[in-house]
Amino acid sequence: MVQTFDVRLCNETHGDYAMNAIETAAAVKLSAKESSLNWYENGTSRIPFQVYTDAQLHQRELEAFFYKSHWCYIGLEAEIPNVGDFKRTAVGERSVVMSRDADGKVNVFENVCAHRGMQFCRERHGNRKEFVCPYHQWSYTLKGDLQGVPFRRGVKQDGKVNGGMPADFKTEDNGLNKLRVATRGGVVFATFDHAMESFEDFVGETVLAYFDRMFDGRTLKILGYNRQRIPGNWKLMQENIKDPYHPGLLHTWFVTFGLWRADNKSELKMDKHFRHAAMISTRGNAQAANEVSKVSSFKETMKLHDARFLDIVPEAWWNGPTAVMTTLFPSVILQQQVNSVSTRHIQPRGNGEFDFVWTHFGYEDDTPEMTERRLRQSNLFGPAGFVSADDGEVIELSQKGFEQKPSHRALAELGGRDVGDTDHMVTETLIRGMYAYWRKVMNE
Amino acid sequence: MSKHIETHFAVTQLHARYASAVDANDWDAWVDCFIDDCVYRIQPRENFERGFPLATLSFESKGMLRDRAYGIKETLFHDPYYQRHIVGAPLIQSVTDECIKCEANYVVIRTKLSELSTVYNAGRYIDEIVHTEAGLKLKSRQCIYDSEMIPNSIIYPI
Ligand SMILES: [Fe+2]
């Protein structure tokens, strides 16, 4: 029996979802005729290795996802609390600077001098009255506007003016490349695309609810950073957090110490384009904090020597779920795993490598005990984390597999070949959804 | 002077013992370099200097070190690798009856199977060392690393 690719919703109650799902499916089918890639049954349940290994596809992805039509993660407002504070970061593979101007507004501009193109900002953070390119001292305001050009009016010598910029040179026309900025709940996003939809429309109602849950307006308190360079394609990290199949299998620590149980209540939800997603799960016995180290579905006798790693105290803002992992395509993952909260920023470096920057934070009203708890639980996450170190490892080794056999493909058929929200974790539907969107945008 | 030389010698021996333990994958010997009420941290220099409390790993008891040892042995999946520590001469900063405070630079070289050896992590140890019946032990070891990017992951203690 030939099965055709049909994007259907598992949850039939969302009428508008189903509509959009069908539109997406139609778009995929249309474009597939021209696809240079081999998609099994014209669907997304089998992913050609080439999407991870092809340098040209990667360049097109940067243009299509990072430099156009998408809001990309920049940072947290709490990283630049004062006028003149700045942070250097990246959108895709382009270096940008986020700064707070005299009006208290957040600006983001490209880190390329308008004069000779030098990447003028080398410090990663600091406080400035203005930005000056060291090469020829062109200076810019905190908004990225050009304010000073040495010898603009030339140099007077023996009663004659030498050089200077042409009479029609205007500073207004020679500012830095400014990105459009959106802030919500203390989180800063930006886009090179000044015509695109609002941040809220970009994220969509469903996923925005989970964004707002975590960033509910309380001032954030930065706890610090972790930075790792992962030798794998950047999409693999999005897929990792859209894959609820692996945690109970790869992360045996989770299972051993009872943080992951097959009977956890869970849901998977997507935006209407299937690009963003939330993996929502609720641990059965969330309130019994000191029970946690005793609960075990794997080895009945395993106990932590120091149970403080899992000294979990439920917080009111959770509103139920004990863990929500949100993927905002393409640039960021928002993590709430019990008391540990962080943003994880994806910064590609060619098709085979990306930098992954973790910013752990807390909230202004955290007690010292809660801050301590968040920090203790952060031992589970990050490049050395009890349950996150292995994610980087499997991504590296997946990329190695792809590179040796680019004409092959990966399978993502757990839970079927279609795409839709679910009320369980036994599915790879979010990965299929992401590639349905990818195919549509990339016209592949 | 001889007292100073003695202290210096004892500290370098502790450093050497520690390096030998973590390079030999002897996690019990690693745990044994510490007293019960101890601190072990691996922290980016950036966080350390900016006053951010987050560390890449932060343990506050020997029990936590044991839990890490268990994680390495039993639960953490990782590509196999060797590590080799090169530890510089300790700079002894203060010596009291209770505690020796010192620092030492380190470089860790990682060798993955079938691969070249590469610089994996570079930084300095900030130590507090105490006398015990079993000789000098660490009360606190902070590994403050310069390396801006962790090459994928850190599994073994630095
Ligand atoms: Fe994972």
The pLDDT value given to residue A29: 52
Spatial distance between the Cα atoms of A363 and A385, rounded to a whole number of angstroms: 22
- Average pLDDT over every residue of B142-154: 98
Q: Does domain B2-145 have CATH number 3.10.450.50?
A: yes
- The verdict on a CB contact (< 8 Å) between B152 and A226 is no
pLDDT (tens digit, 9 = 90+) per residue, A309-329?
Answer: 999 999 999 999 999 999 999
For B67, which of A230, A309, A382 is closest by C-beta distance? A309
pLDDT attached to residue A381 = 96
Chain A residues within 8 A of B152 when measuring between CB atoms: 228-231, 383, 392-393, 396
Report CA(A240)–ligand 1 centroid distance (Å).
6
* Ligand 1 center from residue A241 Cα (angstroms): 7
Contact with chain A for residue B71, Cβ under 8 A: yes
Chain B CB contacts of A256 under 8 Å are 74-75
Coil, helix or strand for A393? helix
Are B149 and A397 in contact (CB < 8 Å)?
no
Least confident of A102-116, A153-167, B110-124, B141-155: A153-167
Helix-then-strand count for chain A, H and E? 11, 21
- pTM exceeds 0.80 for this model: yes
B148 shares contact with chain A (CB less than 8 Å):
yes
Cα A235 to ligand 1 centroid, rounded to whole Å: 14
pLDDT of residue A287: 40
pLDDT tens for residues B30-71?
999 999 999 999 999 999 999 999 999 999 999 999 999 999
* Residue A297 pLDDT > 60: no
Contacts of B59 in chain A (CB under 8 A): 306, 379
Among A250, A371, A389, beta carbon nearest to B153 = A389
Report chain B residues whose CB lies below 8 A from the CB of A378. 54-55, 58
With CB atoms and an 8 Å threshold, state whether A251 touches B75: yes
- Is the confidence at residue A14, as pLDDT, over 60? no
Å from CA of A387 to ligand 1 middle: 7
Inter-chain residue contact A378 with B54, CB threshold 8 Å: yes
What integer best gives the mean pLDDT of chain A?
A: 90
Q: Distance (Å, rounded) from C-alpha A190 to C-alpha A198?
A: 11
Helices (H), A345-426: 368-377, 389-404
| Site of tokens 């690719």 | A5
**Per-residue pLDDT at A9 exceeds 50:** no
Supply the pLDDT for residue B1: 65
Amino acid present at B155: I
Percent of chain A residues past pLDDT 70, beyond the cut: 88
DSSP-assigned letters across all residues of A63-116: IIIISSSS-EEEEEGGGS-STTEEEEEEETTEEEEEEE-TTS-EEEEESS-TTT
How far away is chain A from the Cα of B69, in angstroms, using its nearest Cα? 11
Kindly compute the dihedral angle of the four CA atoms of residues A78, A332, A362, A186, in this order, to the nearest 10 degrees. 40
Residue of A nearest to B156 (CA): A384
pLDDT digits (tens, 9 = 90+) for A223-263: 999 999 999 999 999 999 999 999 989 998 888 887 777 66
pLDDT, average across residues A356-385:
98
pLDDT of residue A53: 98
| Minimal CA separation from A237 to chain B, in Å | 12
Alpha-carbon torsion (B118, B120, B123, B124), positive or negative: negative
Of B53, B57, B149, the CB nearest to A379: B57
Tell me the β-bridge partners of A233: none
* CA quadruple A128, A134, A140, A144: dihedral sign: negative
pLDDT in tens, A177-219: 999 999 999 999 999 999 999 999 999 999 999 999 999 999 9
Contact A227 B150 (CB under 8 A): yes
CB atoms within 10 A of CB A428: 23
Confidence label for A285 from pLDDT (cuts 50, 70 and 90): low
Cβ contact, residue pair A393, B78, below 8 Å: yes
Interface of A with B (CB under 8 A): 124-125, 222-231, 250-253, 256, 304-306, 308-309, 355, 360, 371, 375-376, 378-379, 382-384, 386, 389-390, 392-394, 396-397
Contact A444, A432 (CB under 8 A): no
Q: How far apart are CA A59 and CA A118, in angstroms?
A: 22
Interface touch B59/A379, C-beta < 8 Å: yes
| pLDDT (tens digit per residue) in A127-143 | 999 999 999 999 999 99
Domains of chain A: 72-148+176-181 (2.102.10.10), 204-442 (3.90.380.10)
8 Å CB contact of B152 and A396: yes
Hey, is the C-beta of B64 within 8 angstroms of any chain A C-beta? yes
- State the nearest Cα–Cα gap between B37 and chain A, in angstroms: 12
Give the rounded percent of residues in chain A with a pLDDT score beyond 90.
84
